[in-house]
Structure 1
Amino acid sequence: MKKSIMAAALLLSTALTAVAQDAPSVKLGVINDQSSSFSALGGTEVTEAVKLAISDFGGEVLGKPIELVSADHQNKPEVALSIAREWLERDNVDALFDVANSAIALSVNTLLGEQKKLGFFVSPMTDKMTEADCNGYGVAWAYDAYSQVRSSVSAQLKDGGESWFIISPDYEAGKVLEASVKTAVEEEGGKILGAIRAPLGTTDFSSYILQAQASGAKVVALTVNGPELVNALKQVQEFGLIDQGQRVALTVLHQSDARAIGLEALKGIQFASPWYWNTDDASKRFKEEMQKKTGNAPGWVAAGAYSAATNYLNAVKAAGTDDPTAVLAKLREGKINDMFAHNATLLPNGRLIHDTTLLEVRAPGETADPQDVFKVVTTVPADVAFRSIDKSACKLGKS
């Protein structure tokens, strides 16, 4: 009886594998926030970017059409996990892309490990998918708290900003960023005079800003993003922090943030970024194509999703299969160089390391193109910007 059950299970497993191999299409899934707090940072723009990647690739791979599904998880973990599970278990989606919101990304990463399917995380800030929670199937394509913080902190400290006060959002990514800023500042000889967290959706930052002002810190670090960053910066101007001699440092700034806040409030602020469109011909071409679709220059989340989807499809083609293990092996074979990822290498823990840039917000009227809101200050090499594999908590790829 036991042998019969084992044989039946083996036959079922073989049948499911055959179904996956004989699927009529290669299917990509974009899952992110398209209607609430994080939607302005990527949202439907990411879907358009992956559509463009599929079109530029030619629309088919291995003789099969490439399909795209997209869903709004509404920033709700239970909704996101339900959609992801349905896609992977029932709808034969081969790979997930973006997966906005760090808490959601952690849950989806666990599911990817269980299902042995690939996920390309673009906008989540947390590094747990490639550190303590690594499983070999979650790929972090764009950035993490470590890569964002190091360049920005270093620049401020070199210019005399030795004392810091941190205002962070009270969710997973905010906690990661706060810890990263603290570590970077203290390791480079600076002091943390205070830190406070604001709940997601906060509109009134006055009490937090007053505490930062009273601390006397030379640098006030804002690690909030999206609508919260817009509100916080407007209130920073109202309370006159910059006029009174305090600096305001950002760990993250998106193209959409600059449009919403305005250059007058942001001019001169520096921050690290995985990508900017006005750097090379390929990026400028991507900007023009995306602007036709959305009306605005794309942010780095859209660019990262385009890059991840394109490299995934190239790896599927090179491997001659969409089997996740074979695809990952192809992605790790050599350097990746495209309009988003320069001098990039996919590490065994799933972290793509690549050159990043230190950007500065332009002053109003500095260029003729109103979409050209940032300028490149310097390039940070991949091995400096990202944590090395020997310092990773992930055991994958280590002897």
Structure 2
Amino acid sequence: MPQSQDGEIFRPDVTILPGPQAAPVRRERFAIRLSPQDLERRAWKRRVDTIHVNTDVVIKTVARFDEMLRDLGDDVEGQCLVIPAASGAGKSHLLARLQLRPALVPFRDEFGPVRPLVYIKAPSPCTLKTLGLALYLAMTEKELSANLKEHDIWTRVRHQMHAQLVSIIMIDEFHHAFRGRTGDERRTLVETLKNLVIPDPNDPLRPPGAELRPVSLVLSGMPWLKKVLKEDFQLLRRCVFKPIKPLGHSEACVKKATKFLSLVEARLGFPAACGLSEHDMVQRMLKASNGYTGRMMHLVKKAAFRAIQSGKPSIEQVDHLGFVFEEIFELGPRRNPFLVVDISTLPKMKEIEFERLTRLTGTAEAGVETQADDA
């Protein structure tokens, strides 16, 4: 088995990626010649794709995360920030916003890389072994052999965490640790994470001579994520939960949805009004998203892409929003919130139907909870 310079074992069957100078030449072989109009539309779509609007949950979660960062140097124990939410609600996008904090930018000094934060998506299935492999890859860009034992993998992981001064581990889709796992496997996994948050002098995985420095966790996943954390009460009581909750149909919720859609429309750049913040459209958006602004943002952006590509001056309810919704969910005109005549007669969608949104587009894209400058 090949070894790297530091003696770590890694997979020999990983494809070697070409250097940056080779990429344009390789793309040239299948590139489509774009007209000036196509290039303008592409730039417009990219601007739309970067639209972010702060919501209450984003503001509060960012504030709590910043508090966690300030406490890193003082606490003898770490903390665990937990973001539970339904499919497509915006968990992954919110994690991406948290990673933009200036204090978390990795760098290299004379001793090697310094990585304050390590981010991964929990593998599926998520066992202690597969989680260790994913963390090692994120820290070193090398794949360890899957034939290694759990203890050997985590010995290497903990060595890298100590050497790179890792202070925060961020794990998206952590609910994978619950699906299909036995109770013993879940308990072992959660206990290993707890030993990062609450350093144990007798932890056999701690590198010799390593300081007792706590690591904080940020975990996101489906609402049943809490069931995984209940496997260890000591870790659970150090958790701070910041769930992404849906908007209802109360006057206050409708007002929030209206403001959100108004801010989004103002940044789309269409010459004509789209009417996203009109009362009837707000009711349709609430039904189409089950109240999650992340899902609203996803639908609006996909509809905007379609409108831009077809050269329309605004987003149209039937041709763009109705088409995008039907393409994803395939519910037919009688259950499509943008195609029915009277939205008040349409029953609420079941949450399980929104899992299709995640499967088709990926959690990170489907969940577009947002951030920018003013909500």
TM-score by length of 2: 0.27
Q: Which one has more relative contact order, counting CA pairs under 8 Å at least 6 apart? A: 2
More strand by share: 1
